[in-house]
A = this chain, B = another copy of it.
Amino acid sequence: MDEARWRKLTDWPLLACAVVFLVAYSWEVLADLRGTERAAAESVMAVIWVAFLVDYVVRLSLASPRWPWFRAHLPDLAIVLLPFLRPLRLIRLVALFAILQRTTGGAFRGRVVQYAIGASVLIVYLGALAMVDAERGHGDIDTLGEGLWWALVTITTVGYGDMTPVTTTGQLVAAAVMFAGIALLGVVTASFASWIVDRVAQHDASEQAATRAQVDELTREVRALRVELARAGTQDRVTTSP
């Protein structure tokens, strides 16, 4: 079995795992679970973490040139190993969106915009959740509503400062959301830029860049000419030889 086939088989189960993880983590954080309920939620998350770990190890062993695969999938490794740093464990769920992404078609730029929107929504929710988990009882951010407001203010790089994390874990979560904000700004801007460049280029058809298809057609034309010339030359000789 090769890696592509394994991915096809495991995509949907892993998506389900990610959703269950999200639900379990949301429940634990939002209901502020204690005792056996907390243990139950933690167990569910641990089992799912094992599933992701197994998936990573299997894919690494199936990859034929192993070193390039390892280098190209460092983020996957981080997603598997980061769980020990608890709130960042949630980053793993971005995989959910990547899987959803793979199932939809459409033009490249449209997919980039969809991905950016989807990833932003996920990051805002996960950031809010992780922030409430880290900061409850320590700072200003105690409820999901406050967490969402903080995450929105941060990911857009507005940064009012009416609520700021005070714990180290909260500040690490904040750093992740801030850099997500820079990436969001970058993707939005780049998509607009690509769209404007395309539209400006299409405006005046006579000024559009020559396409490969056009030059290929011209090359065919010249080759046909050469064949014709060769034929004409032969005919000449045939005609004039006697």
Contact = CB atoms under 8 A, between A and B. Distances in A.
A144 to B, nearest CB: 12
Nearest to A183: B188
A214 B211 contact: no
Contacts of A182: 156, 184-185, 188
Interface stretch (A22-30, A80-88, A218-226): A218-226
Given A210-B209, A212-B209, A178 B153 contact: yes
A32 interface: no
Contacts of A161: 159-162
A76 to B, nearest CB: 19
Contact of A156 (B157, B162, B193, B225): B157
Given A156-B178, A186-B191, A230-B232, 7 more contacts: A145-B168, A157-B158, A157-B159, A182-B184, A194-B197, A215-B215, A235-B236
29 contacts: A108-B199, A108-B203, A109-B196, A152-B174, A152-B178, A153-B178, A156-B157, A156-B182, A157-B159, A158-B181, A162-B164, A185-B186, A186-B192, A187-B192, A189-B193, A193-B196, A194-B196, A194-B200, A198-B200, A206-B212, A207-B211, A211-B212, A214-B215, A214-B216, A218-B222, A225-B226, A226-B228, A229-B232, A240-B240
Interface of A: 107-109, 112, 145, 149, 152-154, 156-162, 164, 168, 171, 174-175, 178-179, 181-200, 203, 205-219, 221-226, 228-230, 232-233, 235-237, 239-241
